[in-house]
Every structure is written in structure tokens, then in C-alpha cells.
A = this chain, B = another copy of it.
Amino acid sequence: MAAASFTNPQEAEQAFYEAFQRADLDALMAVWAEDEEVYCVHPGGPRLTGLDSIRESFRRLFRGGSSMRFQLRGAQQMRGGLLAVHSVYEYITLVGERRPASAVIATNVYVNVGGGWRMLAHHGSAVAGSEAQPPAEAASPGMLH
């Protein structure tokens, strides 16, 4: 797949979660910057640095096919020159279930490379306890945004 180009960090973020939801490994990897320092932390996991480690982790995660639906809520965005940092709550509903099974808070870092934005880091961590349900206004399942 040709390298994707995103005109702003929001587009890159949307492409990342859409590919995640479809379990589309090539589309997901096309969002990442081609940079040695890219890293990904899955909830409870170590830091995976480099595209090869990241690809392998998602390949395993996607082995069973598309199984997760994301509701993204509470986005905060900061931009300063060539880097952008987003944080967002991911409420994850397993296919066949009606309510989110878990909540993850993610810090996503994007970099501007040659005029386009790509993902530089994804750090997710599970939120324990009562925070694992989305706020009331986010009750409809299946929406990405």
C-alpha cells in the first residue's frame, strides 16, 4: 500500500481507528510515520519501538478478524509546530455485545512529515472501575465519532 498522507492530525487519527475497527493491518500501518522512533504501548504491555514490532503486535491482535467497535470521547488536542498530541477515551465494544467492555485512555502523537501528518506514538492504558462506561451522551454504540 502506498504511504498515506493526511492533511491534519485528526484525519490521521480517524484513519487509525477506522483501520483498527476493520482489522485492516495495511491501512493501519500506513498511518504510522516511517521513523525508527515510532512506538506503541498496548494496555498493560511494554513499549514496542519500530514499525516491525508494531506491525507484528497488530497482526496478532487482528488474527481473529474485526472484533472491536470504538467510541471516541473527550478528545483533547495540542499542537506545537511539527508535533501534535491528542488524548482521547476509547470505549471498546466487542462485536455481539451491547455495551462497552472496557475503556482505554490513549495518548496519540502525530508528526508532520513533508507536509502530511502521520502517527508517531500510540500509548493506551486501561481505565479501572467506574470510568469504564462512556458518559451518558455517548450511549449509542457503533459510532466512531
Chain A: residues with CB nearer than 8 A to chain B? 37, 39, 41, 43-47, 49, 74, 76, 78-85, 87, 89, 105, 107, 109, 111-112, 120-121, 123-128, 131
Contacts and interface: CB of A to CB of B under 8 A. Distances in A.
A39 B89 CA distance: 13
A46 B37 CA distance: 27
Given A76-B37, A107-B123, A131-B46, A82 B81 contact: yes
Determine how many copies of this chain the complex contains. 2
Nearest to A108: B107
A80 B84 CA distance: 9
Contacts of A76: 37, 39, 47, 49
- Sort A-B residue pairs by CB-CB distance and give the 7 closest, nearest first: A81-B81, A80-B82, A125-B125, A80-B83, A83-B83, A46-B131, A107-B123
B80 A80 contact: yes
A9 B62 CA distance: 37
